[in-house]
Amino acid sequence: MLAEIGPLEIGGIVLLVIILFGAKKLPEIGKGLGKGLREFRDATKGLTDDDKPADKPAVPPAKDDRGTGPAAGA
């Protein structure tokens, strides 16, 4: 059923939307839809970022042969 949608049907849907909402309202509807999609994408991106650690723990400096840090020789 859904696979039988062709260019004529899509044109009919576009024409119906223009008749229902008017040409002046379409940019406002598109802008609102774009903002909503952007907020949804940002929210889902935030959820996936929560699974990853934000910062890796700092690695302490390596010790030299005397068992002291790198600043001991200075």
- How do the pLDDT tens digits run along the chain, 74 residues long? 567 889 999 999 989 988 998 888 889 988 999 999 999 999 988 777 666 655 665 666 666 666 665 655 55
What residue spans define the domains of the chain? 25-49
Q: Could you give the CA distance from residue 62 to residue 69 in angstroms, rounded to a whole number?
A: 7
pTM score, whole prediction: 0.44
Q: CA angle, corner 24, sides to 21 and 25, nearest 5?
A: 45
DSSP code of residue 25: T
Quickly tell me which residue has 């949608």 as its tokens: 5
Q: Could you give the CA distance from residue 63 to residue 74 in angstroms, rounded to a whole number?
A: 14
Supply the DSSP string of 7-38, one letter for each residue. Answer: HHHHHHHHHHHHHHH-TTTHHHHHHHHHHHHH
Residue 37: both structure tokens together: 């999609």
